[in-house]
Structure 1
Amino acid sequence: MEEPAPSPETATSSVTPTTTPSRAEAVINVGVDPLPGGFNPHMQSDDSTLTRSLASLVLPSAFRNDAMDEDLLVSAGPVEPTPMAGETLPQTIRYVISPEAQWSDGTPITGADFHYLWQGMTGTPGVIGSAPYREIAAIRTSPDGRTVDVDFVTVVADWQQLFRHLLPSHLLQSDAGDFSSALIDDLPASGGRYMISNIDRSRGVVAVNRNDRFWGKAPAQTDRVTFREIRSVTQGVEQLHTGQISFLDVTPAETSFEAYSLMLDTQVRLLDQPRELTLTMSTSSSLLEEHAVRAELHSLLDVPLIARLAAGRSADLNVPPHTRARSVEQGPPELLPGLTGEEGRPLRLGVDSADDTAIAAARTIVDLLSRFGVAAEVTTTDLADLTGNLLPAGEVDVVIAWERSAGDPVELADQWLCPPTPESPRAGNLSGYCTGETDVMARSLLNGDVEASEGRAFFAGENAREHVLVPLLGERRVLVLGEGIVGPDPDLDNWTAGISTVASWRKQ
């Protein structure tokens, strides 16, 4: 829901404003979850509704909703590949950037920005969607920087998914060595309808202003949008009542839907996002390298219980499909108690120290396992350390983190494509699981030889046999539309996206 670009169409409403607000009044206030650890939409550690929405408002993309962004590009498509080192590569895509396209500091958007993103996506652990970028052999740019030729070592059928949310390379390290850390507290320049004017972590506020250098056909309808942390249902209800916020997009609590639905002149909607808190078993682990041990661990996981305790609620809970957990009455497991007992070591569950939900899930699992005589402990660190160091070194056995779950071809390939080596830093395929069959299927999805439905069925069967991924909790959100906003449609149920469409909103 947060991926679509802001609609260029004029917003509609059953209420027609009689006066146009002044620039000082043209401010929309939105309630959101607590601010994420960073704002890089390509990093798994930063992935959140707010991060994705800000990226759609601030950062330029070659394609949006599978359609070329005509504000950024004049054209994009295959051209005759140029031979390299005596060999003709199978695919070259040429992007021609609009002469007007520029960052908010006046610097042109060029091939250097494409190159920076490619380098970051292939050289940084814990990125989202690295698989197609790993198939790029070279990026060649014309002298003026506006024509960009991307050469691939294999055909990538869904090449339109690449180069979304370009980053301002002129303000970052040329070799993308800062890719995981440069956007912790800011998006330093804009190539979209808005630009970030302030991030105040102490107050939990992100403010964006209309980007006056935006050259496109449909500039933002509202001068300023402020996103404010809402930490409780009581706070959300109060701020909607007083008009301090006009829209809310947050993770629900136990009573959220009931409390917001009681309010007059509000519309409330629950929305599931294609993202799940997932337990991934590492095949680099000395404890879990054997299929039988992974199967036994999976049998001990009570997914509904883990979901409730991780989310801290039982209402409006999105529990993924799961197998029935082993009960104590069925007797103790045969393998894990011995592996983690006096002669072994505890099972180590790695989680991001900034992710409270993942930490709660991990602690619940430790307690569940203890009932079966399995020793386990939680290792908290950042995802960069988990994916770059601890997982490939076998120093953690399991990682619990949020992962995309839409199941499109690129996403499936990213999740199952074999790492370059077992010791390589992890991105996409956090488990390190690799067979000839899974790698062939992942590559077939990338080059379009296999339909997404066939790929989903294949990997679902593989996972059922091998017990690599266990979804624990689906992301469910509550949206609340209060008074004072003219949005994409008068009926909230007809909105195709949430706060990522804020550029088309205006004050009523």
Structure 2
Amino acid sequence: MIARRPARLLLLAVLLAVLAGCSADPIPAPAPAPPPPTTPITTPTQVIAGVDDIGPGFNPHLRAHQSPVTTAIATLALPSVFRPDANGALQLDPTVATSAKVTSENPFTVSYELNVAASWSSGAPIAAEDFVYLWQQMRTQPGTIGAAGYRAISDVRSRAGGKAVDVVFDEPYPHWQELFSGLLPAHILKDAPGGWTGPLINGVPASGGPFRVMSVDRVRGEILLARSDPYWATPAVVDEMILRRIDPAVLPTALANHDVDLALPDARPEVTRALAALATPPTVQRAPRPAVQQLALRTGGGVLADPRVRQGVAATLNREAIRAAVAPQAVPVDAFGAAPSDTGYVASAPAGAPARPDPAAAAAAFGGAGYVRGGNGTWQLAGRPLSVVVGAAAERPEDVRVAQTVAAQLRAGGVAATVAAPPAADLFSQSTVVPTAPTTTPTPAPGGAGPAPTTAPSTPAPSTPTSTSAAPTTAGAPTTSAAPTTPVAVDVLVAPREATGAVGPRLDSDYGCPAAGVPADSPASSCFPALQPLLDQLRAGPADPATVADAERILWTQLPALPLYQSQGLVVSTPATDAATKVRPGPLSTGPFTGAQRWAEPDRPDR
């Protein structure tokens, strides 16, 4: 047993040697995983446009929402069956409809074959329901522009699963190509609370164009539009379009520092002077706005229901002084249908009152209505002063300035006047409004042109009304104060009217009688039996000059409104922007952003 011990020790030594040899060559550790690929951070390509303000909303069919920004958004994000070419002639947009033609004369029918690929950014097809929705809203909603053509439609029928549409008219309608522009997403709006206005106050809920509205920042005054990836046609070149509110006083600096690539300000003299002082002068192109500023006079009730009182009010007002105080760059308008931007525009205004101020004519008109001049210089009837409410939308600063200037002129002429500035959505759709006072105070304009306010609100007036007492006046003319919580009817409404399209439908849209069963366009609506047959002729046929002249004469007699001026805008761009975009004023109805999907990003060497 003792002899076996050396053998065991030898075996143990051999095993230890084997184990030592194995540990000298260990199993290698796994190699580390390769680093993940890096994605380069890119800045989106942009075109940045400066604007005076972003406006109260973006429905292109509402009078309250008319602005250069609304026109831009409609051009970039909303589908239209026809669009104007460089010369302003309407051409079929094949991205929306592959065919649109008259297919029957009795009844007059227009048939549309829609592009099967056309769809909203939500995924829903652009289809017949969008035609039906726009037709129904334009016929029934107050405060629309260009409604006459839609009132002439008796039915809208769907075919081919909604990708074909037959539009049936009550009578032949030669201006049918002007209809169904700026289509809206019916599948979203038709069931939305306040669908015609609410969802369009802070954006557009779905896009049918090369861009879509991503955000609206009213505090910063900026709107972001991004390339719409679901767009079925040629995609936009740049990633983003930005509309940025720029104070005209800092616009030259913003252009010099490349904070904006182009700008669309009003053509105010101080703006053009400041731009001319830049070391590298920008390109400045003038562009008329597609609307005429006017005063709508309430013919359906109140003191202005008497045409003699309307004549007296018109003869009291100095339209040229209003323009000089508020928009000296604007072009005077002396017609109800055509605008100075129209080819062949002819003024229809009479030589004297009511187109021109005439105290004697005003006194005769007020006296004919039974008013007498009181000891303090005011016009009175049975001891009660002649008093009117002048209304302007709180979010439309220029309108507020017009209203304040008008009220001051009326007070100087012996008519008590109060300015009310409620939100646009209320003012253009309701027969009465809470008399919210404007937040600005008029100051004398140089040269005796009348009062011009220093500033105007750029955001909606607060819902809680404040005092509506007007500023003290001279010559003993008193002011009026509406009860702060009692709704009032607006007698004189500062409101734009359309300056695009055929003159006949324009006249009928603005001054024609509403269709049976359709509510009146509050608060500015009119209906004159002697005028309507002429408007019917103009709507259903070419604008015969003699018929237009007859209609204009009646309108200057009845005065449902008083035209003031057509504003002028500017398209301001840098050399780099010109090279990348070739921006132009564009057709009146679609503006400078026509064709913007083909723009490239301008070179910004300092950024």
- 1:382-432: per-residue Cα shift (whole Å, max 9, x none)? 4443444327999332211111234623212212221236993307x9341
SS at match of 2:356: coil
Cα deviation for residue 473 of structure 1 reads 3.1
Cα deviation for residue 36 of structure 1 reads 0.8
C-alpha distance 292-224 of structure 1, shift in aligned 2 (>3 A): same
Contact kept, 8 Å, 1:318 with 1:475, in 2: the verdict is yes
Matches of 1:484 and 1:375, distance apart in 2 = 54
1:444 aligns with 2:542: no
What does residue 186 of structure 1 align with? Answer: 203
Which of 538, 551, 556 is matched with 1:464 structurally?
A: 556
Contact kept, 8 Å, 2:223 with 2:244, in 1: the verdict is yes
Cα deviation for residue 188 of structure 1 reads 1.2
C-alpha distance 246-489 of structure 1, shift in aligned 2 (>3 A): closer
Residue identity in the other structure for 2:332 = V
Percentage identity across paired residues of the two chains: 25
User: How do 1:417-436 residues align onto structure 2 when only pairs under 5 Å count?
Assistant: 417-420=512-515, 424-426=519-521, 430-435=524-529
C-alpha distance 70-41 of structure 1, shift in aligned 2 (>3 A): same
User: How do 1:92-491 residues align onto structure 2 when only pairs under 5 Å count?
Assistant: 92-142=109-159, 144-174=161-191, 178-216=195-233, 218-233=234-249, 235-263=250-278, 264-311=280-327, 314=328, 316-321=329-334, 323-327=355-359, 334=367, 335=369, 337-339=378-380, 342-344=383-385, 346-390=387-431, 395-406=489-500, 408-420=503-515, 424-426=519-521, 430-435=524-529, 437-448=530-541, 450-451=542-543, 453-486=545-578
SS at match of 1:354: coil
Cα deviation for residue 108 of structure 1 reads 1.2
1:64 aligns with 2:61: no
Cα deviation for residue 472 of structure 1 reads 2.2
C-alpha distance 303-62 of structure 1, shift in aligned 2 (>3 A): same
Matches of 2:46 and 2:510, distance apart in 1 = 40
C-alpha distance 495-257 of structure 1, shift in aligned 2 (>3 A): farther
Matches of 1:200 and 1:419, distance apart in 2 = 37
CA RMSD, 1 decimal:
3.0
* Deviates most, 24-33 or 49-58: 24-33
Matches of 1:248 and 1:501, distance apart in 2 = 17
Matches of 1:443 and 1:56, distance apart in 2 = 30
Matches of 1:422 and 1:140, distance apart in 2 = 22
Contact kept, 8 Å, 1:486 with 1:505, in 2: the verdict is no
Cα deviation for residue 281 of structure 1 reads 1.4
SS at match of 2:549: helix
Matches of 1:422 and 1:283, distance apart in 2 = 19
Cα deviation for residue 340 of structure 1 reads 6.4
Matches of 1:329 and 1:168, distance apart in 2 = 51
Matches of 1:423 and 1:73, distance apart in 2 = 30
1:43 aligns with 2:62: yes
SS at match of 1:278: strand
SS at match of 2:303: coil
The size of the alignment, in residue pairs, is: 472
Structure 2: gaps spanning 5 or more residues: 1-40, 85-89, 335-348, 350-354, 372-377, 434-486, 603-607
Cα deviation for residue 339 of structure 1 reads 4.7
Contact kept, 8 Å, 1:412 with 1:456, in 2: the verdict is no
* Deviates most, 202-211 or 322-331: 322-331
- 1:93-142: per-residue Cα shift (whole Å, max 9, x none)? 11111111111122211111111111211221101111111122221112
C-alpha distance 454-206 of structure 1, shift in aligned 2 (>3 A): farther
Cα deviation for residue 266 of structure 1 reads 1.1
C-alpha distance 375-423 of structure 1, shift in aligned 2 (>3 A): farther
- 1:37-90: per-residue Cα shift (whole Å, max 9, x none)? 111111111111110111011000111122111111121112237xxxxxxx62
1:33 aligns with 2:52: yes
Matches of 1:282 and 1:495, distance apart in 2 = 33
C-alpha distance 341-48 of structure 1, shift in aligned 2 (>3 A): farther
Contact kept, 8 Å, 1:281 with 1:397, in 2: the verdict is yes
Residue identity in the other structure for 1:376 = A
Contact kept, 8 Å, 1:269 with 1:493, in 2: the verdict is yes
Matches of 1:412 and 1:425, distance apart in 2 = 16
C-alpha distance 294-37 of structure 1, shift in aligned 2 (>3 A): same
- 1:17-47: per-residue Cα shift (whole Å, max 9, x none)? xxxxx97352111111211111111111111
* Deviates most, 154-163 or 413-422: 413-422
SS at match of 2:419: strand
Contact kept, 8 Å, 1:488 with 1:495, in 2: the verdict is no
Contact kept, 8 Å, 2:139 with 2:151, in 1: the verdict is yes
Residue identity in the other structure for 2:418 = E
- 1:256-288: per-residue Cα shift (whole Å, max 9, x none)? 111112221411123222422201112112312
C-alpha distance 220-458 of structure 1, shift in aligned 2 (>3 A): farther
Larger gyration radius, structure 1 or structure 2? 2
Residue identity in the other structure for 1:478 = L
For normalisation by structure 2, the TM-score amounts to: 0.71
Matches of 2:382 and 2:203, distance apart in 1 = 46
Residue identity in the other structure for 1:210 = R
Residue identity in the other structure for 1:228 = R
* Deviates most, 407-416 or 177-186: 407-416
Cα deviation for residue 458 of structure 1 reads 2.8
Matches of 1:422 and 1:295, distance apart in 2 = 30
Contact kept, 8 Å, 1:279 with 1:401, in 2: the verdict is yes
Matches of 2:71 and 2:304, distance apart in 1 = 34
C-alpha distance 396-265 of structure 1, shift in aligned 2 (>3 A): closer
* Deviates most, 333-342 or 292-301: 333-342
For normalisation by structure 1, the TM-score amounts to: 0.85
- 1:204-245: per-residue Cα shift (whole Å, max 9, x none)? 1111111122222x4323221111101222x11111011111
The higher relative CO (CA closer than 8 Å, separation ≥ 6) is in 1
